[in-house]
């Protein structure tokens, strides 16, 4: 094996490489026995230690969303849903008035602008969900 060929062990380290100056911050995490077992199972499947698994999962740019992020996204979706329901009620009332009188209500442009804003907000929320 020549000097440029990396050793196989470099690709299968269980622990992270040493950091210059050492690691100065420590975090304790309490988990239930079930959570601890699940963490150990996942770490063993990936051939890493539990601390390395947790750090990599938390700091990965390609990570899956956390339950907190999922709850926040769902709250945003419910908010947008309520806005759409309120606006659709206004649009229906305007359509009824237009059909009865033959005249467009003065509020129509503002209401349609609100529909566009809510639709854009919905698109952004969906994009955030699909990106995570």
For the segment 114-131, the average pLDDT, to the nearest whole number, is 81
Q: pLDDT band for position 48 (50/70/90)?
A: confident
Q: Residue 41's pLDDT band (boundaries 50, 70, 90)?
A: very high
Structure confidence by residue, pLDDT tens digits, 51-94: 888 888 887 766 666 666 677 778 888 888 888 888 889 889 99
For the entire predicted model, the pTM comes to 0.47
Rg from Cα positions in the chain: 27
- Reference 31, options 15, 51, 47; nearest CA is 51
Q: What are the b/e assignments for 37-58, b being 16+ CB within 10 Å?
A: eebeeebeeeebbeebbbeeee
Percent of the chain topping pLDDT 90: 15
pLDDT of residue 59: 78
Q: What is the DSSP string of 45-85?
A: HHTS-HHHHHHHHHH-TTPPPPHHHHHHHHHHHHHHHHHHH
């Amino acid at each position: 094996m020549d000097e440029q060929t990396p050793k196989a062990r470099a690709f299968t380290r269980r622990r992270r490489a040493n950091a210059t100056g050492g690691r100065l911050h420590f975090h304790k995490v309490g988990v239930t026995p079930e959570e601890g077992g699940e963490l150990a199972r996942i770490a063993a499947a990936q051939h890493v230690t539990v601390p390395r698994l947790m750090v990599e999962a938390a700091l990965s740019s390609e990570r899956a969303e956390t339950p907190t992020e999922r709850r926040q996204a769902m709250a945003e979706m419910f908010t947008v849903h309520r806005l759409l329901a309120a606006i659709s009620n206004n649009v229906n009332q305007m359509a009824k008035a237009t059909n009865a009188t033959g005249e467009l209500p003065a509020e129509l442009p503002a209401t349609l602008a609100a529909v566009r804003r809510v639709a854009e907000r919905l698109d952004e929320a969906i994009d955030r969900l699909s990106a995570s």
